[in-house]
Structure 1
Amino acid sequence: MFVIYYSYLQAGYGLGPLQLDRWVTGFLKKFERVYELQKDGRAFSTPRRLLAALDVRFGQMLDETLEERMRRDGFGERLIQELASGMVRVNYGQGLDVGAFVGAVALCGSQGPLWAVEGGNQLLASKILESSGATLREATVRRIASAGTRYKLYADVKGSTEALVEDYDLVLLALPLRDAEDLQLSGFACENLAAELARPYQRIYATFYDTQPNPKALHCSEPVPGVILSTTGDGFNSIGLHNGTRKGDSKHIWKVFSPAPLTDEQSKRLFPSGPKCETFGWWAYPKYSKVDRQPKDTPFCLDGAGLYYCNAIEETASAMEMSVLGAKNCVLLASNRLKGTAHNIDAAAASSRL
């Protein structure tokens, strides 16, 4: 299968796919150092310092576009404009002017094998919560106020007319702040802290079908490929075939990613055999294009005390794995400060190159 796959790609891109495979493998090898650092209790005060500890060039990749980086590394123009562009669109709904680091994360999806959790990936979060023994309280936090050495949280509880107000020693924010109005942060040294953290996010829609796509509309022969990438404004970013989430489930579902809800006309053109099953829209990840990118290095600890921001990691790239690493870094940062092991903070350095 590997030989057939690369033989097919070689016909269109020469040795470019093998070069890309080595490039991605090198990137992942450097990136995976983070697991050893975190296993040793190392923590970092900012996302840039975390990346610099993995490889000296990772920080540079935040300040250049993927297109610039790939040209500099000798990739062919067709591979960049077609294969790389398509991978960025399916993973981030954006173009080649995203940062080189987030672009490299997008290209990691070209390597296999990729995993999925039987029963659905949402089980990852629910099982971790269950095994941790933590108490889950469902409420919508509206405001966080600095109260001396503690933090006062104001929240709305579903079904209650009274606001919930409680004090905490540490607060970890694990949410993307898209708008300054999403959450009030008061009593901190930075008067406009929420506004400083807010950044534009990319809206993505996922539409699901249980019928076959129209090969003519996609300009391909039957059977339709399991993955279809787009590089221009076709109304969709990608179309992919997905298996059921349980072993032995023979049901196949087609998923379409698009920057806007598909119209009935678009839907009938792509899938004429039947109606769509469901459409979900959400603010999926930050906008990483050159015009939207902000030269920030938001600290994981926002006030130098006990208010931590897990999503600071999204300034570098956004993915389930990045969210987990950002959250663990915040926990290690807080733990090292409480234990007095400051030597484990910002202590690692790297001298290797990608």
Structure 2
Amino acid sequence: MICNLNALFVWLYAISGAISIVKAQTQQVFQVDSKPVAPLSTKERIAIIGAGAGGASAAYYLQRYSDNAYDITVFEKNKYIGGRSTTVNVHDDPSWPVELGASIFVKENLNLMAAAKDLGLTVRSSELGRVKKQDDISVEDSFGIWDGKSFVFSASSESSWKSIAKMLYQYGTAPIKARRLAKQTLGSFLKYYEESNFPFQNLTEISNRYGLVNLTDETAYNYFTEKGISELFVDQIVQAATRVNYAQNVKKVQALEAVVCLAADEGLNVEGGNWRIFDAMLQKSSATVRLQTTVTEILRSSSDAGKWELRVNDAEDAEVFDQIIIASPYHQTGIGGSLFNIPEVPYMTLYVTLFTSTKRLSPTYFGLPNSATVPTMLLTTLPADEEKGSHMPPIFNSISIIRYIPETKEYVYKIFSPSKITPSFLQLIFLPGAEFGWVYEKTWKPYPKLDPVAKFTDWKLDEDGIWYLNGIEQFISTMETASLAGANVAAMIVGSNNNTVISVP
């Protein structure tokens, strides 16, 4: 999940607040410390496959709920912890880190917020799209939505009331209705954390109970328009959200993902990179972490009933574990065989291009006058008359200035796109004479193809202790929900050995 809850949705919050929408108060359902259960007489061995948000959270909560009763080994095929949450250093300088994957979370992400506090990490307001004045270079905090030919909406924080008036004039009451709908949905989701529901044994059942399957089983376009929200707002604002966050359009993506995007308040991140939450979780769990280690096979133990043999990197010798938590998309893990009935879910391919330049984007390419400045956060939508073929849709999902480096007088840009960005394209969209001092490219499969769905993969794949976290991604694909899945399965494992009530801390 690369859920880039960004400046656009903070804008929507500000606009909604300015016209007297009452912010729903989040009930604090977490405790600073959960009640520790009695440790097991002998430590069970648990293998976790994947050191991202879900795997790290599973390790952290297993130990927290059980007073360190487990012997945990985490297998990660990459050479770093964090999964789809990772940073890279501009010009290889560690003083200039930028997020490559999951960039932002919000204060309603109660699991991440509580863990960051418990682990002593610094949470700060994100500066995505907010570039300060540096060395007499003034960079406005602004965003725009481009349809491949012209901007269908744009705004700047330097004229907030004008921007609010512009949005209300263009979309009527749609922003108000959408905001209310998002807050109502968030309220339903937060019930999953309540002590009376946690841990929830079945994601499909609890989602039906609180009405959220009504959103996952419908496209965003149909859901919003059926709720009386104008097609123009859905096609432009909501679609910009689903394209930047999930690389999918409103007539295809399920509605809950779109609603989640609009529920964001202030964007937050962890100083030094969001991956530090998951690194700190694993450290606190005392788990053995084996990087660059691919699990190739899981078999029932031939010598120990109810246990499992796990092979890595095609080694002949197997290791024996009592239980295994699969915390990565199963069909991307490299595990062979078909022992477990996990439906194959296609994942989107996303190209992330980071680069630096002393130049700004070309206003003429984006249909602006020569004297204009292209917004610092540029989101995209489809042409209104796309079916008539009036002009080509954008070939990228977003372009953002994510920081300014005064030492080199460079802007750092990030592009999300469904295909590779070429050097010739960069020259085309920038002002003449643009040079690119540093370029970094990454191809992700960051989130599933989020078609409407009414049933989710069970947590438990085998009664002898095989668990799967990533079924939650078809429900909501974010760092927070991955972490919640890890905590939920940890609580189910610990609870099966004890009668003590467990709540999400």
Residue 235 of structure 1, aligned match among 365, 383, 395: 395
The residue aligned with 1:83 is: 237
- Provide the residue aligned with 1:105 in structure 2: 260
Contact 1:226–1:241, Cα closer than 8 Å, also in 2? yes
Structure with the greater relative contact order (CA < 8 A, sep ≥ 6): 1 or 2?
Answer: 2
Instruction: Give yes or no for the alignment of 1:124 onto 2:277.
Output: yes
CA apart distance, 1:344: 8.3
Match of residue 328 from structure 1 = 487
Q: Which of 209-218 and 78-87 deviates more?
A: 209-218
1:18 aligned onto 2:179: no
Structure 2 partner of 1:150: 307
Q: Which residue of 2 aligns with 1:70?
A: 224
TM-score by length of 2: 0.59
Aligned-pair CA distance for 1:229? 1.5
TM-score (norm 1): 0.82
Gaps of 5+ in 1: 186-190, 346-354
**Offset of 1:283 from its aligned partner?**
0.5
Distance (whole Å) between structure 2 residues aligned to residue 226 and residue 26 of structure 1: 31
Task: For 2:355, give the aligned amino acid.
Answer: Y
Query: Structure 1 residues 241, 19: closer, same or farther in 2, change over 3 A?
Result: farther
Shift of 1:27: 1.7
Give yes or no for contact 2:192–2:200 (8 Å, CA) kept in 1: no
Q: Does the 8 A contact of 1:178 with 1:200 survive in 2?
A: no
Written as runs of structure 1 = structure 2, the 5 A alignment for 1:219-258 is: 219-220=367-368, 222-232=372-382, 233-243=393-403, 252-258=411-417
Say if 1:230 and 1:237, in contact at 8 Å, map to a contact too: yes
| Cα deviation, residue 141, structure 1 | 0.6
Corresponding position of 2:351 = 205
Match of 1:261 in 2: 420
1:94-148 CA distance string (max 9 Å, x none): 111211112222333xx32010111111212112212222221232111111223
Separation in 2, partners of 1:331, 1:41: 15
Which residue of 2 is the match for residue 316 of structure 1? Answer: 475
CA separation of 1:244/1:149 partners in 2, compared to 1, >3 Å: closer, same or farther?
farther
Find the aligned partners of 1:156 and 1:339 in 2 and give their Cα distance. 35
Identity %: 25
SS at match of 1:184: coil
1:253-294 CA deviation, whole Å, 9 max, x = no partner? 22110001112222222235123621111111110135xx6x
Cα distance in 2 for residues equivalent to 1:193 and 1:131: 31
1:338 paired residue number: 497
CA contact (8 A) 2:395 2:417 kept: yes
Does 2:435 align with 1:274? Answer: yes
**In structure 2, what is the equivalent of residue 169 of structure 1?**
322
**SS of 1:178's equivalent?**
helix
2:192 to 11, 15, 34: 34
Residue 49 of structure 1 aligns to a residue in which SS? Answer: helix
Report how far residue 88 of structure 1 moved. 0.4
Structure with greater helix percent = 1
**How far apart are 1:29 and its partner, in Å?**
2.2
In 1, are the aligned partners of 2:456 and 2:472 still within 8 Å (CA)?
Answer: no
Q: Which moved more, 1:329-338 or 1:279-288?
A: 329-338
CA–CA distance in 2 between the matches of 1:66 and 1:241?
A: 28
Amino acid at match of 2:482: S
Q: Which piece of structure 1 moves more, 97-106 or 145-154?
A: 97-106
User: What runs of 5+ residues in structure 2 fail to find an aligned partner?
Assistant: 1-10, 19-159, 383-392
Work out whether residues 210 and 254 of structure 1, in 8 Å CA contact, stay in contact via their aligned partners in 2.
yes
Q: Which residue of 2 aligns with 1:216?
A: 364
Residues 1:184 and 2:362 are matched in the alignment:
no
Question: Is 1:43 aligned to residue 199 of structure 2?
Answer: yes
Q: Partner residue of 1:348?
A: none
CA RMSD of aligned residues (A): 2.8
